[in-house]
Structure 1
């Protein structure tokens, strides 16, 4: 066999490998009835089938393939606010087609890219990419699943639908080949829906009191700013998280300011609030500002008056250790190095209306002549609330930590907040296959606000 014949056979092999990659895109995966999307509830990711037209590389000498792709779109936050960034994963799993040739595909030669179509309240396309990573595929064997990820920023409130779009499989073996696949009848069925909330402007309403204490029946001057011009504003006493019977009404001027008096009789009063509307709302109110009713009622003969004070504490955190050893991965294979975050205890002993947020960000992982990017670290947070705590903590969303950071846990604002909480997370570092052997270290910094 001469050199020219061998080169020709190598090119033919490469072409067939390109066609083999095509079988992934034409086959589909995630077997689900075609009507699943129609029966799915909002914010529930479902598998969808859609017809696909794929063009093999010209060197393959094969005609276009018209088949069915089954795919799934998932997001890391199904209830974002306008301005939030949402992570998107476009997955094809267990393709129906298999390698159409007797030639085996080596590992890590396939790199997928694609688009996710947005519809509903926000239109456009999300670019997604996948890693160059696949297990070996034997001749005539089934193809592995593959996933592509990307992000988009929410620009409008309402229901935003996500549908699988066009995608391409790039193979790097002997030759660089592309197999583009397009949705035959776009858009494809909806696989995921996120419901975005409007991001209201920050509440800048504020009040101050003319005095911090007074006798029962005394008036306290309440001054307010940044309320809605011309709005009726209710002034009210608070006893812990409950409103007392002491109220008054004032009207904000054209600049949103007011000054009024509130007569305070309730001996249990701990603060004063001001709000627009028929009931207290943290979004349209200000306070509470601390106020104490000094009980100056004369003590009866042969009696003793007893008083006690509850002092406000601080917001603090502590962690059970400062190092985590992730599991090892093999050179040439890479994969997930996993571990568990050292538990973090949050103590909110302030006794006010403010909630808290615990966030984390990580540096790149540096090692012997190479770096694993910070964006390769992801976590799955968890949070537990100690019994009897006024607040309830909420775990952050699973996803990438990265250098930009992500939320580990939080507690919302409320009339009365506080308590003790334990935050944890499962950690996973995606290590590329041929990362040089050795130790790699990054620093995860936690911030409590």
Structure 2
């Protein structure tokens, strides 16, 4: 689970009993073909009432029967009636179920399948029944053979916000009968490279955006995003409230996703992205921003006539909380027309407009509505008869482009003498201009063909050409550029220059890309002129 339980007092034990029951149990449906079933004893531990233990039938169907190393397995889970019952009826309660399976055979460890959130109705004094659920998990990369799966535990997250209890988690451990295999998959060696995932920063606060980049995903596939425990279990999609992540035709992944403001305890996690066939993960430390000391509050103007629009901004505020702006007079009276705004997950209040209502205004009051006692802060404002004008300008995003100084690379000539010889040349300078005005990064790569003689048969392998990149940012650029790794060229893309994304600041500018080239001739080859093609790609 992604939320550490905070116990809260409730007025009635009946409500607590209902919470315990809501944490377990799924309705028994007819098992699908080739599904595995185990009749286990489970012990469920609700957050408030006493644990409940009893028999429960658990059925899991795994497809496909054969996957590649590092590939995805789809699981469909149904269970029989729960051993728990509710002392009261509950209506339309959101519940998110998951099941953890242990692996044995070709791989060990655990995987977790998390279903979608559904609303259930809980009759009083009857076993809990809820719909079956489905989800995916990833088999470990680098293994081959048969992996068998057994049931370890189940967890449900139950949203009891309508009862003032928030989101609660109920783990249900299998105490007997869990050693029976519920199915197996055969893992074969995969072809191609496994996908990779990189995050813009190693840590983030709840309620904030994270930046994602990756490669080697399925071309044009739909990206699915979950947040998992550090050991890869307990993956849930609900940890992200929004996402804008895409995979292009080359299998490159880019985008952002926003962490939920609640339901994620401080700690280390894995962000997992799947493309329907394979998955990649990257570590992320998540924490709630905790302000220290007083807030920092600012206004963009502290004087003006009635009707002046003042933008109030701040930092070191409570994260994801409501801030109310009011004008006040010298006697502390408030004027009408208050405005409410929200801070972000980093405790920052973006510039928030407030219009001065009366000539008696002496301060703008900032109140923190979600804190006990609703603390307030006063920002001085002076009414004046001055007239003000406020110029504005809109800067539209431009393109990411590149140009080159030429297209001919001449290594000169060499006389065959029975030994390999080294010839040198320089890459025609490439200029990259990033005018997008965002915080994105880019990568300039190159691929090389074999050099072919005029007869169309004799070749010098592409790998005989190597480069040493040299990249620089022009004055006035907003970001820096990094050199690629020196080495041989070939059909696989080699990096010439990269600019990393920066979630905290704008990126862009003009950058030059150069490289020293070396060609190692074969000791013996057909005499003649050889030509090839070096292709540069900017993404």
- TM-score, scaled to structure 1: 0.39
Normalized per residue, the structure richer in helix is 1
- TM-score, scaled to structure 2: 0.33
Query: Which of structures 1 and 2 has the larger relative contact order (alpha carbons within 8 angstroms, sep 6+)?
Result: 1
